[in-house]
Amino acid sequence: MSVTGDGGAGQTLIRIRNLSKAYVRGEQFIPVLQGLDLDVRRAEFVALMGPSGSGKSTLLNLVAGIDKPSGGSIIVGGVDIATLSEGALADWRAAHVGFIFQFYNLMPVLTAFENVELPLLLTTLSRRERKAHVAAALDMVRLTDRVDHYPNELSGGQQQRVAIARALVTDPTLIVADEPTGDLDRVTGGEVLDLLDDLHRQLGKTIVMVTHDPKAAGRAERMVHLEKGVLVPDPAPGAV
């Protein structure tokens, strides 16, 4: 099954072809993704949905370059990341991917400012430039009054906003979000989704989000469903 975008090649940011991923545990071969094709357009907000074990997080990890496929190709911005060496892949992630995790994954010993600054340490920006970028990112998530606070001094929603600032501070091509509202209450989750919406609409960011929550998925432009490692057709609009 394939789900490919309708835009021209120039508009396609992610082009996945015949992607497969399997794990070997002892003598057991466990296929997770099988022969998957998927296109994501530049500036598109895509929600990956599916039951537990369907392979959506695995797909997200492969698209983000933190895992290697067993077969097929993942071309992001013209680069087949499946062929990159580990070091090159790390550099590619630093330059092109922003991460948002379910449990925020902030460094507990670093302040909000320092957490947001962390990906910038991998760039050639000067200290002053980094400071300006971090201030802008924290302003975008409305946390300028919390720059010196440590994660344990922030609420869950605030921590996720810091994580969003960290994801966007390098101005990445792609933002991947794994259950970004999974650990938040409905109201705070809504605020986080508003922020993702802003990133998509105002900054034109391409966002790929894994979620169980149909309401969260409803904020995306497009939903992609996975079941047992294969894509299934989009439900009709309004079916969610």
> Which residues of the chain form contacts with another protein (CB under 8 A)?
61, 64, 66-67, 86-87, 90-91, 93-95, 99, 101, 103, 105, 107-110, 114, 118-119, 121-122, 166
Provide the Cα torsion 6, 94, 208, 13; round to 10°. Answer: 0
Find the shortest distance in angstroms from Cβ 229 to another protein: 16
C-alpha 235/C-alpha 240 separation (Å) is 7
Which of 153/194 has CB closer to another protein? Answer: 153
Considering beta carbons, is residue 15 or 21 the nearer one to another protein? 21
CB of 115 to another protein, least distance (A): 10
Comparison of 1 and 123: residue with beta carbon closer to another protein = 123
The least CB distance from residue 65 to another protein, in Å, is 9
What is the residue type of 83? Answer: T
Question: Taking the complex as a whole, how short is the minimal distance between the CB of residue 102 and another protein, in angstroms?
Answer: 9
- Backbone angles phi and psi of 92, in degrees to 5: -65, -45
The Cβ of residue 10 has, within 10 Å, a number of other Cβ atoms equal to 8
**Distance, CA of 42 to chain centre:** 14
Q: How far is the CB of 236 from another protein (least distance, A)?
A: 34
Find the angle CA(66)-CA(70)-CA(75) to the nearest 5 degrees.
60
Shortest Cβ 22–another protein spacing (Å): 14
Say how many Å lie between the first and final Cα of the chain, rounded.
21
Pairing of strands 12-25, 28-41: antiparallel
d(CA 3, CA 40): 9
C-beta closer to another protein: residue 61 or 73: 61
By beta-carbon proximity to another protein, the closer residue of 43 and 94 is 94
Tell me whether residue 6 or residue 86 sits nearer to another protein (CB atom).
86
Are 20 and 26 within 8 A, CB to CB?
Answer: no
How far apart, in whole angstroms, are the C-alpha atoms of residue 111 and residue 165? 13
